[in-house]
Chain A
Amino acid sequence: MSMHGTLEAKTKAAGRLWLWSMRLAAGSAIAGVAATVWLGLWVTPPSIELGQLVRLVYIHPPLAWVCYLAFSVTTLASLAYLWPRTRSAGWDRLAFASAEVGLVFAVLTIVTGSIWGKPTWGTWWTWDARLTTTALLAVLYVGYLALRRIPAEPAVIAKRSAIASLLAFADVPVNYFSVYWWRTLHQTGTVLNPAKQMKIHGLMAWTLLLGFLAFTVAYLWLVSARYRIAQLADLRERDRLEVAIAERRAQAGAKADPTSVVRA
């Protein structure tokens, strides 16, 4: 087999592997979320303190966890882009894909938290430290995505948005520690707390962990899909540019040699 043929076969095999990984992730995420809903709504018991409202714990913290995870991945990918040895368009694309997914989860965290807050605290919204820093986080990443849309050379967009993502990420630890640093209405971490002591046990704990796992797998699928869409868009854009450059060159050539038009 020729070198080109081997490369093409490897590309095809990688494509098939990616497709099957995506299908597996999608199936696992759907099954995991379905099991979380079933356990969360019908199997787990109500709690003494929150009663039936505790059932929202299987949805809201996993959404918030994915939000942290997504923004952490964006930051790491941005650092990899900024580091000259590892700089590649792939890191920038990953940072962008993860930021967009993270923003969706941040908004859903705020909305589900608000729905939980109304019957628990008696209000949809309060300028509590955790809520405020979560809203700030969403606004910062809206800014990050907006910054990416300002026209410039791809390398300039990648570099400035990587720097912006590092600045935006500064709010993540503040958001996490806000419930320990300030007196807030929001409870401290049920699973992810500095004392590393789970405040939930038995079937309730397993259901919550399943929720975390299912949403993490969903995140992996979403980021992979968003990454692929961005990659294909970049390829089309590169093609479009190449065609435009070739047309310009042909036009310039025709102007420089008018006889070529006559000959043609």
Chain B
Amino acid sequence: MNGYIEAGYVVGIGGVGSYAAMLLMRLRRAERLEAMRHRALAAREDASPQGSNKRSGAQ
């Protein structure tokens, strides 16, 4: 085979693969931030007077 075929495959599949890898990293980072946001929201809810009422009601 000549170098053009290999180059075409490397660029085509490598390009899609690189983009997919970048998206995967960004997705994982976004999911981590989302989990942190959820924890912060839960903490804020617990700290609010309504949250305290809920807790005392549960007790």
A229 & B16 in contact (Cβ 8 Å cutoff): no
Tell me, rounded to whole Å, the shortest Cβ–Cβ distance linking A136 to chain B. Answer: 20
Instruction: Pick the contact of B23: A52, A53, A225, A233 (CB < 8 A).
Output: A225
A236 & B1 in contact (Cβ 8 Å cutoff): no
Cβ-closest chain A residue relative to B6: A41
Q: In whole angstroms, how far apart are the Cα atoms of A41 and B9 in the complex?
A: 9
Give how many B residues have a beta carbon under 8 Å from the other chain's beta carbons.
24
B5 & A41 in contact (Cβ 8 Å cutoff): yes
Please name all residues of chain A whose beta carbon is closer than 8 Å to the beta carbon of B16 when the two chains form the complex. 33, 63, 104-105, 108, 215, 218, 222
Please name all residues of chain B whose beta carbon is closer than 8 Å to the beta carbon of A225 when the two chains form the complex. 20, 23-24, 27
Tell me, rounded to whole Å, the shortest Cβ–Cβ distance linking B17 to chain A. Answer: 8
Q: In whole angstroms, how far apart are the Cα atoms of A245 and B36 in the complex?
A: 21
B12 & A59 in contact (Cβ 8 Å cutoff): yes
A108 & B9 in contact (Cβ 8 Å cutoff): no
Please name all residues of chain A whose beta carbon is closer than 8 Å to the beta carbon of B41 when the two chains form the complex. 239
Q: In whole angstroms, how far apart are the Cα atoms of A108 and B27 in the complex?
A: 22
A112 & B30 in contact (Cβ 8 Å cutoff): no
Please name all residues of chain B whose beta carbon is closer than 8 Å to the beta carbon of A63 when the two chains form the complex. 12, 16
Identify which of residues 1-47 in chain B touch chain A, using a CB-to-CB cut-off of 8 Å. Answer: 1-2, 4-5, 7-9, 11-13, 15-16, 19-20, 23-24, 26-27, 30-31, 33-34, 37, 41
Cβ-closest chain B residue relative to A233: B30
Cβ-closest chain A residue relative to B30: A232
Q: In whole angstroms, how far apart are the Cα atoms of A118 and B5 in the complex?
A: 11
Q: Is A116 an interface residue (CB 8 A)?
A: yes
Interface residues of B (CB under 8 A from A): 1-2, 4-5, 7-9, 11-13, 15-16, 19-20, 23-24, 26-27, 30-31, 33-34, 37, 41
Q: What are 7 pairs between A and B in contact, CB < 8 Å?
A: A37-B9, A41-B1, A52-B2, A59-B9, A63-B12, A104-B15, A111-B12
Interface residues of A (CB under 8 A from B): 26, 33, 37, 40-41, 52-53, 55-56, 59-60, 63, 101, 104-105, 107-108, 111-112, 115-116, 118-119, 215, 218, 221-222, 225-226, 228-229, 232-233, 235-236, 239
